[in-house]
Amino acid sequence: MEYYLIVSAIMFFAGIYGFFVRRNTLAILISIELILNATDINFAVFNRFLFPNGLEGHFFALFSIAISAAETAVAIAIMINIYRNIRSIQVRNLNEMKW
């Protein structure tokens, strides 16, 4: 089972690295997808190996997928709006709040 967890850990920290390093906001969102996926794998793995009689992890992963889809949609809508306003989606341009 640990091998699954290693895989998901690698994917998780790859996502974190991408979150820190990438300049394009959409790339950051992609890294977030990686993170979420890694956690979904973890849930599924735990459910399968530690609690084979229940389905909690399975359903958690299911709902996680649904929710991350919704969140991605909204995030992309926001990014499009930002792009319309400042013509750039570099994350270093997004450092001031509204004033």
Partner 1 sequence: MNLTILILILPLISFLILGVWGKWLKPAQAGLLGTISLALVTLLSYYTAWQYFTMPRTPEGTFETLMPYNFTWLAFTETLHFDMGILLDPISVMMLVVISTVSLMVHIYSLGYMHGEKGFQRYYAFLSLFTMSMLGLVVATNIFQMYLFWELVGVSSYLLIGFYYTKPAAVAASKKAFIVTRFADLGFLVGILFYGFYAGTFTFSPTQTALVAGGAAMLPLALGLMFIGGAGKSAMFPLHIWLPDAMEGPTPVSALIHAATMVVAGVYLVARMFPLFIAYAPETLEIIGWVGAFTAFFAAAIACVQTDIKRVLAFSTISQIGFMIVALGVCTGSDPHEGGLGYMASMFHLFTHAMFKALLFLGAGSIIHAVHSNEMKDMGGLRKYMPVTHITFLIACLAIAGIPPFSGFFSKDEILAASFAYSPVMGWVMTGIAALTAFYMFRLYFGIFWGKEVEVHGSHKPHESKLPMTFPLMFLAAVTCVAGFIPFGEFISSNGQAYHIHLDLTVAVTSVVIAVIAIVLATLIYMRPAQPVADKLAKNLAGLHSAASNRFYVDEIYQFVTHKIIFRYISTPIAWFDRHVIDGFFNFLAWGTNATSNSIRNLQSGQIQQYALVFLLGALALILILLLTF
Partner 2 sequence: MGLTLETILFFVLAAFITVFSILTVVTTRIVRSATYLLFVLLATAGIYFMLGYTFLGSVQIMVYAGGIVVLYVFSILLTSGEGDKAEKLKRSKFLAGLGASVAGGMIILFITLTHQFGPTSTPAPVEVSIKSIGYALMSGDKYGYILPFEAVSILLLACIIGGLLIARKR
Query: What DSSP state is assigned to residue 24?
Result: B
Binding mask 11-50 for partner 1 (x = CB under 8 A): -----x--xxx------x----------------------
Enumerate residues 6+ apart whose C-beta is below 8 A from 36.
64, 68
The reply to whether 89 sits near partner 1 by the rule CB under 8 A is no
Reported as type and span, the H/E element at residue 54 is none
Token duo for residue 28: 């950051």
The reply to whether 2 sits near partner 1 by the rule CB under 8 A is no
The reply to whether 10 sits near partner 1 by the rule CB under 8 A is no
Q: Based on CB atoms, which residue is closest to partner 2, 8 or 97? A: 8
Enumerate residues 6+ apart whose C-beta is below 8 A from 60.
43
60 with 7: CB under 8 angstroms? Answer: no
Q: Based on CB atoms, which residue is closest to partner 1, 6 or 97? A: 97
Binding mask 34-73 for partner 2 (x = CB under 8 A): x--x--xx--xx--xxx-x-xxx-xx-xxx-xxxxxxxxx
